[in-house]
Structure 1
């Protein structure tokens, strides 16, 4: 065997060894990441039988659309004209909290609807859009935050 062929064989062996080391390192890394994410290694623990998680609905079927103290119990939305149109259109895709945590002007609500239509596949709301926007702009408009109220009934003292 010539020197050139010996060199090629050795190079192939080194290359194969590097590939094997790389695979071992990669698998070790994957296992280490899994161990960090799931320290109990539950995927490898076959002693326990997995139990399904049962989530109970706390709202009775009769109370599904019940309103108490001006609040729709299931969603937390304010009871007002257009409530059920908002419930039927908005909570089909996301939770009511996504609406109630936001406060926007009428223009911003329209812009948000347009964004959802362009990027999130929201359907054309048709005549319901005005109902929805008016409801949201009335009940979830920005709160005017002025200066805080003056402190009252405070016993002041001097710092030394």
Structure 2
């Protein structure tokens, strides 16, 4: 008899959770049906997160810091799944350097095969994040020196 009581209590608990889920589900639908502006803002947020890159200022994608150019979207989609965009934008490499880095990530970090996107991503990175020749700073030309007191 005691075992039967435990089974009834378990079934009652499961039934209660099921009813609670139904109430939340239909309550959410009722709320969205009566508040269309909320439903619209949810759809807009989903569209932004699914690859609409609207936040661009002065040729820079504000969310990632990537230079806006052909291949930016593919680079964002393939690189920022695993690491920060900053890890890409702080580096400067030749095309061969970027390709070697991608191979290293594929061999050791489980990066997937980029397929047709690889050429697009490599071209984007080699063009926008290539090494810059900075060299040493220029000599100071000031001939009059003074002493700080």
TM-score (norm 1): 0.56
Out of 149-158 and 120-129, give the one that drifted further. 149-158
Give the drift of 1:101.
Answer: 1.2
Q: 2:72 matched to 1:83?
A: yes
Give the drift of 1:149.
Answer: 2.6
Q: 2:118 matched to 1:129?
A: yes
Q: Which has the larger radius of gyration?
A: 1
Name the structure 1 match of 2:107: 118
**Per-residue deviation, residues 103-145 of structure 1 (Å, max 9, x unmatched):** 1110010000000000111000011001101111111111112
In the alignment, the residues of structure 2 paired with residue 77 and residue 69 of structure 1 have an alpha-carbon distance, to the nearest angstrom, of 11
Structure 1: gaps of 5 or more residues: 1-59
Name the structure 2 match of 1:98: 87
In the alignment, the residues of structure 1 paired with residue 136 and residue 66 of structure 2 have an alpha-carbon distance, to the nearest angstrom, of 28
TM-score (norm 2): 0.60
In the alignment, the residues of structure 1 paired with residue 79 and residue 57 of structure 2 have an alpha-carbon distance, to the nearest angstrom, of 21
Distance 1:63 1:70, change over 3 A: farther
| Cα RMSD (Å) | 2.3
In the alignment, the residues of structure 2 paired with residue 138 and residue 154 of structure 1 have an alpha-carbon distance, to the nearest angstrom, of 40
Q: How does 1:29-68 map to 2 (within 5 A)?
A: 61=45, 65=53, 66-68=55-57
Structure 2: gaps of 5 or more residues: 1-43
Which stretches of structure 1, 4 residues or more, deviate above 6 A after TM superposition?
none
Number of residue pairs the alignment of both structures matches = 99
